[in-house]
A and B are shown apart, each in its own frame.
Chain A
Amino acid sequence: MSDSASATPAEPFRQRLIRKLLYGNVDRAAKARARVGLAMLAFTAVFAIIALRLVMYGVMGDTHGRRGGAQDAVATARPDILDRNGEILATDVKAPSLYAEPRKLIDKDEAIELLTATLPDLDPGEVRDRLSSRKGFVWLKRELTPKQQHDVFKLGLPGVGFLRENKRVYPTGRDVSHLIGLVNIDNQGIAGMEKWLDGNGLADLHRAGFATDRQQEPIELAVDLRVEHALRDELMKAKEKFRAKAASGIVSNVRTGEIVAMVSLPDFDPNNPKEANDPDRINRLTTGVYEMGSTFKAFTLAMALDSGKTTLNSMWDTRTPLQYGRFRIHDDHPLGRAINTKEVFTYSSNIGAARIALSQGIEAHKAFLAKMGQLTRLRTELPESASPILPRHWGELNTVTIAFGHGIAVAPLQAVMGIDALVNGGYLIPPTFLKRTEADAMKLAKRVIKPETSDKMRFLMRLNAEVGTARKADVAGYYIGGKTGTAEKVINGRYAKKKVLNAFTAIMPADNPQYQLLVMLDEPQALPETHGFITSGWNAVPTGGKVIARIAPLLGIKPRFDLPPSDRLILATSRENR
């Protein structure tokens, strides 16, 4: 600008003339001040806008800049899943995936030809479709092997590249399938604990783009891989031997509610997601509901003993079948005499159990089962669960049949929770698949029966393994107690005599239970060595015995020999303490 020396009066005449011609007769000082003021105003406005925008970013957050679509899938990483001893059950490894940028391709036909020749399992039509699209980015093949990557790299095609993705691998394969679930190709959990992980904040992390590195805390489950494998191995053998349709088993810690092992055969390989969709491979322990048969007699007896109206020596009339409308309740082994409560359990008398339940009344029966968590849907960390099937109108006949486990269908995991409460001193603890300490479990626990009743249930379970239906499972040294269950399956609305669902519930050691094992066999067939019998005592019980012999050392149960029989060890000490 020319106004540096303009305001001085010593301005030459000619210069003043030019200035007047150019700008008119204005006070230049005032003009300069106005200009400076304008500049200040402009800068203030600019900085105010910047400051305001910054505040807006700070308050509302950035709505742009999130990665979406294909790259999102690249970013997802999941935490490792470990068993209770720190063995890896699921982990991420990086695998290269092949992508193309169709706009950068020079010769489409050459690219298709070379790629399908190198990777024979690519479908040429599909590759052509994808490469002809107008998108900037298309996946061609996910999860290449290092050799395939090398081969494609050597083709030297422009516009084709690799991205390394996290691939979920399950090194232990089928052993933990139902428990851990699986993920889809974009590393999102679709079943089991994997889905639970997504539901507990991992999905949000992914969306925010934070879950890109493997810096996440691993998840520790309650499962013990060694026990899980031993259980699965023995169940596989039993399923094959008895030609059963399905076999399943649970090992649970009775004091913490932790599920130490859970197997449901047939299962699937989580590394091969196609298998998992087969409806035959559902998790029968949480998704299926079954009439548990005589296993439910444990609840009936516990209810009666807990009420104080019945003792172990109360007598029950089982001389004649129980007639109820058009139904007749029989016993498998009719004794033809009055029997006491202990014998009702060891001979697994349906008539006895029915009479015991009737003596308590319908409402008390219903209330007791509700208290034991058998009438409501049990929810755990696993997304798969099922509601029990209850009678619509609970009449006397329902109480009669439910007393021995027919007419009510519950998820086996639910029954396990109930039996845990019967033998652990009377605390109902919701089962969990995550690690839990005894103290934490006690915070969640709810007292449902008296400790004395729990002692009597331990005694009955042990007695059943000494003289009753569970004799074949009495592995020397572990002082096992147990209850068998044989439930006839309903086929077309009738109970089928030859199709049964067998269950065996064992507690170990019976004098101070630490673990409970449930073994279930679906439609086992009669064998020459079972003398044509298909009841639980001939197949589920020996299987349970084999499982216990294998898992007891793994669970750290010390073998003890020469222990006195149950009436002296459990009942006598129980009376002494009170």
Chain B
Amino acid sequence: MRIIHFLVICALVISAAYVYRIKMDSTVRTERVLRLRADIREERNKIAALRAEWAKLSSPARLQGLVERHTQLRPVDANQFDALKNLPARPPSFIKPNDPDPIGAMIDVVSPDEATGSIPAPASASSTPAATEGVQ
């Protein structure tokens, strides 16, 4: 009888210790989960703030202002669209393997102020300071 009592008490102590350990462990883990959740929320808030800022910076109203002030770009005209099937077939290449790249050479020659596209730049839009003011 006494031995049984002793064994039961031992089992009780051991199980109490074990339960305590599990409890402690779960508390630590819960705290970690909470901390991680807080971090995630913080990150989400930062992402939201950055997305809002990006939306503001890329809003059409702002972009239009910048484009009108700093570039010579204009809205697309219907004449500037064409279908892919209207493209002529690719001409055979006449460049020998060791020749310099002819298109690369062309890009080096073109000045950045030159207007591109199918519509020529307006007469006033040459790169003189007076003309730049006129664009603004």
CB neighbours (8 Å) of A169 from chain B are 52
CB neighbours (8 Å) of B66 from chain A are none
Nearest CB in chain B to that of A164: its residue: B45
Supplied contacts A87-B58, A173-B59, A558-B81, 17 more A-B pairs, CB within 8 Å? A88-B51, A88-B55, A91-B48, A92-B48, A93-B52, A94-B48, A171-B53, A171-B56, A172-B59, A175-B60, A225-B59, A229-B64, A233-B64, A549-B75, A549-B78, A553-B81, A559-B78
Task: Give residues of chain A (450-494) contacting chain B, Cβ–Cβ below 8 Å.
Answer: 475-478
Query: Does B128 reach chain A (CB closer than 8 Å)?
Result: no
B76 near A553 (CB under 8 angstroms)?
yes
Query: Does A550 reach chain B (CB closer than 8 Å)?
Result: yes
| Cross-chain contact of B55 among A94, A171, A233, A553 (Cβ < 8 A) | A171
| Cα distance, A94 to B41, chains bound together (Å) | 11
A91 near B52 (CB under 8 angstroms)?
yes
| Cα distance, A138 to B52, chains bound together (Å) | 30
Nearest CB in chain A to that of B75: its residue: A550
Query: Does A255 reach chain B (CB closer than 8 Å)?
Result: no
B55 near A476 (CB under 8 angstroms)?
no
Nearest CB in chain B to that of A546: its residue: B75
CB neighbours (8 Å) of B78 from chain A are 475-478, 549, 552-553, 559
| Cross-chain contact of A225 among B48, B60, B75, B77 (Cβ < 8 A) | B60
CB neighbours (8 Å) of B51 from chain A are 88, 91
| Cross-chain contact of A172 among B61, B75, B79, B81 (Cβ < 8 A) | B61
| Cα distance, A462 to B48, chains bound together (Å) | 47
Task: Give residues of chain B (30-71) contacting chain A, Cβ–Cβ below 8 Å.
Answer: 41, 44-45, 48-49, 51-53, 55-56, 58-61, 64
Whole-angstrom distance between the Cβ of B107 and the nearest chain A Cβ: 27
| Cα distance, A478 to B78, chains bound together (Å) | 8
Instruction: List the 10 shortest-distance A-B pairs measured between CB atoms, nearest first.
Output: A477-B78, A229-B60, A171-B55, A171-B56, A559-B78, A88-B55, A172-B59, A93-B49, A94-B45, A91-B52
Query: Does A436 reach chain B (CB closer than 8 Å)?
Result: no
With A172-B61, A550-B75 as known contacts, state yes or no: A88 contacts B49, CB within 8 Å.
no
With A172-B59, A229-B64, A233-B64 as known contacts, state yes or no: A213 contacts B81, CB within 8 Å.
no
Nearest CB in chain A to that of B77: its residue: A549
| Cross-chain contact of B61 among A87, A175, A476 (Cβ < 8 A) | A175
Query: Does A174 reach chain B (CB closer than 8 Å)?
Result: yes
CB neighbours (8 Å) of B61 from chain A are 172-175, 229, 233
Task: Give residues of chain A (196-233) contacting chain B, Cβ–Cβ below 8 Å.
Answer: 213-214, 225-226, 228-230, 233
Number of A-B contacts (CB under 8 A): 70
With A229-B64, A477-B79, A552-B78 as known contacts, state yes or no: A93 contacts B48, CB within 8 Å.
yes
Instruction: Please give the residue numbers on chain B whose beta carbons come within 8 Å of chain A beta carbons, in ascending order.
Output: 41, 44-45, 48-49, 51-53, 55-56, 58-61, 64, 75-79, 81, 83
| Cα distance, A113 to B70, chains bound together (Å) | 48
| Cα distance, A552 to B61, chains bound together (Å) | 18
Nearest CB in chain A to that of B57: its residue: A171
Instruction: Please give the residue numbers on chain A whose beta carbons come within 8 Å of chain B beta carbons, in ascending order.
Output: 87-88, 91-94, 169, 171-175, 213-214, 225-226, 228-230, 233, 475-478, 549-550, 552-553, 558-559
Contact sample, A vs B, 7 pairs, CB 8 Å cutoff:
A172-B56, A172-B60, A175-B59, A476-B79, A553-B81, A559-B79, A559-B81
CB neighbours (8 Å) of A553 from chain B are 76, 78, 81
CB neighbours (8 Å) of B52 from chain A are 88, 91, 93, 169, 171
CB neighbours (8 Å) of B56 from chain A are 171-172
| Cα distance, A171 to B59, chains bound together (Å) | 7
Whole-angstrom distance between the Cβ of B86 and the nearest chain A Cβ: 11
CB neighbours (8 Å) of B59 from chain A are 171-173, 175, 225, 229
Nearest CB in chain A to that of B60: its residue: A229
Whole-angstrom distance between the Cβ of A172 and the nearest chain B Cβ: 5
With A87-B55, A559-B78 as known contacts, state yes or no: A93 contacts B60, CB within 8 Å.
no
CB neighbours (8 Å) of A94 from chain B are 45, 48-49
CB neighbours (8 Å) of B75 from chain A are 549-550
| Cα distance, A171 to B52, chains bound together (Å) | 6
Nearest CB in chain B to that of A174: its residue: B61
CB neighbours (8 Å) of A233 from chain B are 61, 64
Nearest CB in chain B to that of A560: its residue: B78
| Cα distance, A233 to B75, chains bound together (Å) | 12
Whole-angstrom distance between the Cβ of B125 and the nearest chain A Cβ: 20
Nearest CB in chain A to that of B41: its residue: A213
> Which one of B55, B56, B77 has the highest number of Cβ atoms from chain A below 10 Å of its Cβ?
B55
| Cα distance, A306 to B135, chains bound together (Å) | 53
Whole-angstrom distance between the Cβ of A398 and the nearest chain B Cβ: 43
CB neighbours (8 Å) of A228 from chain B are 60
Nearest CB in chain A to that of B42: its residue: A94
CB neighbours (8 Å) of A478 from chain B are 78
Nearest CB in chain B to that of A176: its residue: B59
Nearest CB in chain A to that of B47: its residue: A214
B45 near A93 (CB under 8 angstroms)?
yes
> Which one of B56, B64, B78, B79 has the highest number of Cβ atoms from chain A below 10 Å of its Cβ?
B78
| Cα distance, A93 to B77, chains bound together (Å) | 39
CB neighbours (8 Å) of A214 from chain B are 44-45, 48
CB neighbours (8 Å) of A174 from chain B are 61
| Cα distance, A230 to B83, chains bound together (Å) | 25
| Cα distance, A356 to B76, chains bound together (Å) | 43
